[in-house]
Structure 1
Amino acid sequence: MSRRAALRGLGATVALPFLDAMAPTARAAQGGKSFPTRIGVLFMPNGVRQDRWTPEGEGKDFKFSPILQPLERHRVDINILTQLGHANCRGGDGHYAKTANWLTGTEIEKTTGKNLRCGVSMDQVFAQEAGRLARFPSLELGTEPVMTGVDFNVNYTMLYGSHVAWRTPTSPLPPEINPRFVFDRLFRENPEQRKASALENKSVLDLVLSDAKALRGRVGADDQRRLDEYLESIRSVEQRIEADIARVASGENLDPAARDAITQLDQRITASMAQQKDPGSALRLDHTEHSRLMMELMTLAFWNDSTRVSTFMFGWAVSGKNFTFLDGVKHGHHECSHHENKPEKLDQYQKINTWHVEQFAHLLDRMKSIKEGDGTLLDHTLMLFGSSMRDGNAHSPKNLPLVLAGHGGGLTGGRHLVSSNDTPLCNLFLSMLNLAGTQVDRFGDSTGPLKGLV
């Protein structure tokens, strides 16, 4: 069976996960390897409480810091990276000069709108090669809309703070924040069919049911089990999107008795959102669920090989996301990051940082639950999590908070790697690209592969 095989129906195409029946063609396409390496990047805005971030000890003999404690269960799958930074980000003021170029390592053009210029981001260098082998070259996801206008405190266009992926030095790739749109992009064939199917409230799985039944009769028991598990995961995401949109439309507390009306509510909301110029800006989803939906969509896209590289922004550069849903947090994210070393704000800042790490740990749980051959999806992925500044109060691009998870390219985990001071972060990007099969000699201001990583 071809690795590009898919389930098809009127208005829907569902790419398939790796099945044993695909083994010969998949291995041939990968030069003898059954699974490609994927690259995922998760951006956390506003830095971290630095005195509670760095682990004690180095190498394999280290103790998790308070903020990183949620990753303890994934110890063997992660590398915590210390003393990496961007020399080219030190000249600009505020958040913008550190966020837009987080994945490029280049200086940005100081502008209020014209002459937008950054660099090509690491994910897009990978997409230029690996993207040709998947349905989508890359997938950019987020939770907050792209910000426009000018921040006159520092005289930068706010566009710089809303993007981490750059296809060219002048072409940023905006993140999609609406999970419904991402889902439809991945699983429905064209705009008109997407609209018709959504308005009729047809599940994509209903649309491809006949093809799925036929496929089950052609494959072995293990493949049948994998197929059932995969389709159930898709349906779960679909149901969560429907339920969350219905909850938003009917108020924060959806009466259980209203569950039967979810279909009608979903239909009305889909129709009304289709009439809006910027429907994404109207989203008011629970931040935890919204983030997890987007990470699940990234996972599904990796699993079915719709894409091999994806970025996710928990928030834009100066995110003021309200975190009062966490016990003891009274302020927005950006305000807490400007803590002025006040104990009360530092404690709230730490809780927000820990929440982000918990979401990353949740993603790793999910990726480890997906079997691929003798390993898991995480075994064939490189997942970078971190921020573009060390401390939100100081805006320093030195010694950035970074965690690299996964075993793509045979990477070993379970270590706290401490580099020499001011080691270029681009050394890590160079190593990630090489591990993923994109052989480049230099990236940004790299001086060579990151020592000790491989």
Structure 2
Amino acid sequence: MDILKSRRRFLMQLAAAGTLLPLSSSGFAQFLLQGERQVPRLKVVFFIVPDGLAVDSYNGGYGDGLWFPRAVSDDTTNFELNAVSQELAAYRDQSLYLQGIIVASGQGGHGAWNYALRDNKGQMSSIDKILGDAMPGTQPIHRSLFAGPHAGIDDTPWYVSWDESRIRTPQQNPVRLYESVFGATSREVRNRQTRNAHVLDLIRADIAELRGRLGGAQREKLVTHLDALEQLANDLEEAVPSVCEPLSLEDHPIKSAQYRNQVQAGHHKVVAAALSCGVTRVATVQVGRSAESLNILDVSASTNPHDCAHRYAGEEVWRGSRQWYTRQVKLFMDELARYSDPDVPGDNLLKHTLVVFTSEMADGAPEHMMNMPMVLMGGASGLLRNGSGNGRYFSIKSQWDRELYSDAKLRFVDMQRIWSTIALAAGTSVPYAGNVSPVTGIFTNVT
């Protein structure tokens, strides 16, 4: 009984040390991994915008809109960016543009948020949750960060991230997101670090007591764990937790169109900082939600984004709204480029990050999910086959597994196969039914 009490007290002290360490220091694992700091670790971000990216033309011409690059062949580095994809020109050399993808049935309108990051049937966890579980950062509670600038602020919870059959709710306010990830202010962080030093003395005393009192098979079973914990205490004592650069965020009203750009930028900052500190290796940024109604003042003060996508107010705002959404992922890439990688400090964070940019539908006027827009960007630790300095366009229709209406022109690859391919590149797999065979030609380690 005394041994159990001692062990319980020891574990409570150890837990206290973990919670007292600031999340911005990346916790215990930051120190345990110091000897492996030069090992690249892939980070993945899913950046999702609503109501498509105008893959069809303004006059309704299927597949001849503003997104897909104009390419000389199905697999080429010789292509011209389109009116919307041109917003990403600064990162062309790190980009792989994919064409020939379908989500679920290809129809379904605004219900596509149920399927966009999931399996065809919309029954299993989304790919961000799967990857987060398989490749956590140093804080398990944040292993799959979900940021939702303006997503669901009208109390319409059309969110794209799922934990099996349970929909996940993103943090809509970047200041609250920052607080949840990084904890308290820097003064409180310093105070907690000081208190941690005293906790370590108690931990070490309990380790010594347990070693002395256990014997035989019980001692043999625990000795490995006790050695590891003692080493952990030593490491914590010798290391001073590094606090990530604090962010300066203003708490703007998140339901106000006037502050839309500022709120969006705040989310970019928090997600990039979390990745750079090693807190998480997987994140999703969902901008707005399908059929969103909050105006983009840079585009129109009178027409909401949903109506812009439907071409109700003319060609200029239709095009401008799709460009604004795409510009946000460019600005997010800029934010990632500001940071060093947490695992290979000499490298830029973007060098070891894969950014997946897509929507929950292909085009917002006919509301279909055929010929989905998708671009994979970033260094991705050298895994992404994005050409040799000029970017790459890759039509994957030759690997099709779906043909609609017995029309060879409507052959597509299921989106769940893209998620399967990304999972394999990251060292895991998806539990989806149906065809999850990888799409070849995307990653160097997936054939």
Superposition TM-score, scaled by structure 2 size: 0.70
Deviation of the 1:9 alpha carbon: 10
**1:53 partner amino acid:** W
User: Which residue of the partner structure matches residue 14 of structure 1?
Assistant: 24
1:19-59 per-residue CA deviation (whole Å, 9 max, x = no partner) reads 998765335xxxxx623211111110011222111111142
Deviation of the 1:284 alpha carbon: 6.4
CA gap 1:320/1:101 in 2 versus in 1, 3 angstroms: same
**1-structure distance, mates of 2:420, 2:355:** 14
User: Which residue of the partner structure matches residue 189 of structure 2?
Assistant: 208
Q: Which has the larger radius of gyration?
A: 2
Please, which of 94, 104, 109 is the counterpart of residue 77 of structure 1? 94
CA gap 1:129/1:21 in 2 versus in 1, 3 angstroms: closer
**2-structure distance, mates of 1:399, 1:23:** 42
**1:417 partner amino acid:** F
**2:318 partner amino acid:** Y
User: Which residue of the partner structure matches residue 35 of structure 2?
Assistant: 25
**2:147 partner amino acid:** L
Please, which of 297, 305, 314 is the counterpart of residue 324 of structure 1? 297
User: Which residue of the partner structure matches residue 338 of structure 1?
Assistant: 310
User: Which residue of the partner structure matches residue 377 of structure 1?
Assistant: 349
User: Which residue of the partner structure matches residue 452 of structure 1?
Assistant: 441
> What's the secondary structure of 1:384's corresponding residue?
strand
Please, which of 433, 437, 446 is the counterpart of residue 423 of structure 2? 433
Q: Is residue 151–residue 287 contact of structure 2 (8 Å, CA) maintained in 1?
A: no
**2-structure distance, mates of 1:388, 1:144:** 16
User: Which residue of the partner structure matches residue 145 of structure 2?
Assistant: 139
User: Which residue of the partner structure matches residue 61 of structure 1?
Assistant: 78
**2-structure distance, mates of 1:17, 1:292:** 26
Q: Is residue 77–residue 412 contact of structure 1 (8 Å, CA) maintained in 2?
A: no
Deviation of the 1:127 alpha carbon: 1.9
CA gap 1:453/1:17 in 2 versus in 1, 3 angstroms: farther
Q: Percent identity?
A: 19
**1:307 partner amino acid:** T
**2-structure distance, mates of 1:422, 1:448:** 14
CA gap 1:174/1:19 in 2 versus in 1, 3 angstroms: closer
User: Which residue of the partner structure matches residue 273 of structure 1?
Assistant: none
Please, which of 249, 253, 259 is the counterpart of residue 240 of structure 1? 249
> What's the secondary structure of 2:24's corresponding residue?
strand
| Residue pairs, 1:37-436, within 5 angstroms | 37-50=42-55, 51-57=65-71, 58-86=75-103, 88-90=104-106, 92=108, 94-96=109-111, 98-108=112-122, 118-131=123-136, 134-135=139-140, 136-144=142-150, 146=152, 159=157, 161=158, 163-169=159-165, 171-188=166-183, 204-209=185-190, 230-231=244-245, 234=246, 237=247, 239-241=248-250, 244-245=251-252, 286-326=259-299, 330-339=302-311, 345-372=314-341, 373=344, 374-409=346-381, 410-413=383-386, 414-420=391-397, 421-436=411-426
> What's the secondary structure of 2:328's corresponding residue?
helix
> What's the secondary structure of 2:135's corresponding residue?
helix
Unaligned runs of 5+ in 1: 1-6, 28-32, 109-117, 150-157, 189-193, 195-203, 214-222, 249-279
CA gap 1:211/1:37 in 2 versus in 1, 3 angstroms: same
> What's the secondary structure of 2:330's corresponding residue?
helix
**2-structure distance, mates of 1:76, 1:89:** 33
**2-structure distance, mates of 1:177, 1:404:** 25
1:161-216 per-residue CA deviation (whole Å, 9 max, x = no partner) reads 2x1111112x111111012211111122xxxxx6xxxxxxxxx2233357899xxx
Q: Is residue 101–residue 119 contact of structure 1 (8 Å, CA) maintained in 2?
A: no
CA gap 1:329/1:412 in 2 versus in 1, 3 angstroms: farther
Deviation of the 1:142 alpha carbon: 0.7
Deviation of the 1:283 alpha carbon: 6.3
Deviation of the 1:10 alpha carbon: 7.5
1:53-105 per-residue CA deviation (whole Å, 9 max, x = no partner) reads 1111142111111111121121121111111112x23353x201x11210013
1:403-451 per-residue CA deviation (whole Å, 9 max, x = no partner) reads 111232522321111111311122221121122222x276454442122
CA gap 1:40/1:291 in 2 versus in 1, 3 angstroms: same
Unaligned runs of 5+ in 2: 1-16, 56-64, 195-238, 398-410
**1:90 partner amino acid:** G
